[in-house]
Structure 1
Amino acid sequence: MTKTQAGRAMVGVGRRLKALRMAVRPRLTQGAVAEALGKSQKLVSLMEMGGQLPTDHQVMTMLNLYGVDEAIQLDVLAQIREARASQAVWWDEYIAHLPRSLVKLIELEDTATKISIATGGLVPFPFQTEKYMRDVDEFGFGEVGAERLTVQHAVRMRRQEIVTRAEGPVVVDALLSEAALRAQVGGAPAMREQVERIIEMAALPNVTVRVIPFAAGAAAASQVNLTILDFPNPHDPGVATMDTGTGVAILDDPKEVRARRRRFDYLSRKALSSTESVELMRSASKEYL
């Protein structure tokens, strides 16, 4: 098992168990599963989020409750065995310095197949240069101290690797306001480097970048910060995330996720095409000469 596979294994089990539960009709709640296990709903939630693997007895109780056939049972059990044998993941070395919500987000990002991001006046994190990142963080979080900022930057740079990794790079659909191209974060030379980085990333086959122009009005002025993660199982509704300022809120209620998908779709309709967006970015880059 490679390091990347190991990082995805535990959360992958949780996502699969959740998808199997949600496929049952009438739908089973986490509370009903907890009752069958003789455990708390909090434990079922923790397992579905990938925070804890079920025991063999627990997983068989769950799979029997879900009515899955023997082939699926064997496959899930094999998946859990692989997760138990997982090696350490790259973020282990930083884990003491990170809020638990961010660790969970990193785990989810690592197992996601697609990430949809909409930002207002900031460049989406997968495309940020180190200079841009440092200037943004030092403005917003300068009081946390130099050591913690160094850790945050290192983690952010490592998180970006999900886009360019050789094995299963994540698909990224990104929307950003024209304001993100015009605000001179770090000065003109730094912004030229930043805009050119976005253009470079937009050329990757797994990346789509579209700009919401100033002409779109309120959609371009919005300070939206929206991320939706999708996973391999087609029955998985995905999760949405929201930056709370002190951590990350992870929303896995299907209604919450659908509401944010509608928001993303609305912003998509206000954005330029990919080709038009690259043209606008090239124009912005020349202004920083």
Structure 2
Amino acid sequence: MAAGRGPTVRRRRLAGELRRLRERKALTLEEAAERVGWSTAKVSRIETARVGITSPDLTRLLDLYELDASKRTALHALARTANTRGWWDAYTDSLPSDYATYIQLEVDTAFIRSFDSMLVHGLLQTEDYAREVIRSALMALSPPAEIERRVEVRMTRQNLLLRQEDPIRFWAVIDEAALTRRVGSEAIMQGQYAKLLEFAAQDNITIQVLPSTAGAHPATAGTFAILEFREPHDPDVVYVESMTSILYVESDIEMYRYTLAFDHLRAAALSPDESKQLISRMAEQSS
């Protein structure tokens, strides 16, 4: 386990699900602990992901919460992998903990829907484009070696889209402004346009451009991504990033608003074929 990393995303998700199950049964921490014969502190530590949970203990809680047998398998599988670390832990010294958390969430997704208003999404960036973006974001506060490590992380993340077996589905709506903003040299932009066209040709990837003529839209506040997970018990999550913080939106009402906003964006955007044509024209104009 990497020092200082704390509980994994899987353990936190399991803890959150157990807390929701208890609340649905209208049980307090004290009541739940009494019924299974544990201390209140033990239940609290499990629900706050401070400790893991064994399979027998998980079964006792699920019995108490009367969870359907069809839903238990996924939770037991989550518990078995709750302490699993991933490839990103090799970059502990270079990655902020919030970024590492997001990467682990990304690994567990089946489908990502994103709107990007300022830059091309990280999963779609070329190495040169990513290097320029990361260097600018760090504002000369980090040495070149750290920039290169972060570029390497970003390129490794793209394996989710490129792997032969079960690649994630990715639907990107990119504001035209993000594509006309010059990042680095003309050659870097030409390479980025070509990369987008390569990605757009894949069956698991849909790319649409939101033209500037679309005017005001529901996501004028900025970039966001909707993550849909593989396991049926995992609720969707919206990821919103600012310069200094990361926000995860999970409430049903807010999730609905982001989903509706994305539907409006893709409806207002150019079709995938029209988007490819526009990107091709941008590539020609930059040459």
TM-score by length of 1: 0.81
Q: 1:173 to 1:46 in 2, by over 3 A?
A: farther
Q: Post-superposition shift, 1:75?
A: 6.3
CA distance in 1, matches of 2:62, 2:116: 40
Specify the code of the residue in structure 2 equivalent to 1:255: I
Residues 151-170 of structure 1: pairs in structure 2 closer than 5 A: 151-170=149-168
Structure 2 counterpart of 1:66: 65
Structure 2 counterpart of 1:238: 236
Instruction: Give the % identical residues.
Output: 29
Q: 1:258 to 1:20 in 2, by over 3 A?
A: farther
Q: Post-superposition shift, 1:155?
A: 1.5
Structure 1 counterpart of 2:197: 199
Q: 1:25 to 1:270 in 2, by over 3 A?
A: farther
Aligned residue among 98, 102, 127 for 1:130: 127
Moved more, 169-178 or 229-238: 229-238
| Structure that is richer in helix per residue | 1
Q: Post-superposition shift, 1:70?
A: 5.1
Aligned residue among 272, 277, 284 for 1:279: 277
Specify the code of the residue in structure 1 equivalent to 2:199: M
Residues 84-233 of structure 1: pairs in structure 2 closer than 5 A: 86=84, 88-146=85-143, 147-219=145-217, 222=220, 224-233=222-231
Pick the structure with greater CA Rg: 2
For structure 2, the 5+ residue unaligned runs are: 1-7, 34-39
Q: Deviations over 1:18-62 (max 9, x none)?
A: 56876x698358x84686242465752538xxxx63233541233
Q: Deviations over 1:74-127 (max 9, x none)?
A: 66445534x2685x5211111233222211111110010011110112111111
RMSD of aligned Cα (Å): 3.1
Structure 2 counterpart of 1:3: none
Q: 1:143 to 1:35 in 2, by over 3 A?
A: farther
- May I ask how many residue pairs the two structures share in their alignment? 272
TM-score by length of 2: 0.81
8 A contact 1:172–1:208 mirrored in 2: yes
8 A contact 1:117–1:227 mirrored in 2: yes
Question: Are 1:44 and 2:47 an aligned pair?
Answer: yes
Q: 1:35 to 1:129 in 2, by over 3 A?
A: farther
8 A contact 1:34–1:44 mirrored in 2: no
8 A contact 1:174–1:209 mirrored in 2: yes
Q: 1:170 to 1:121 in 2, by over 3 A?
A: same
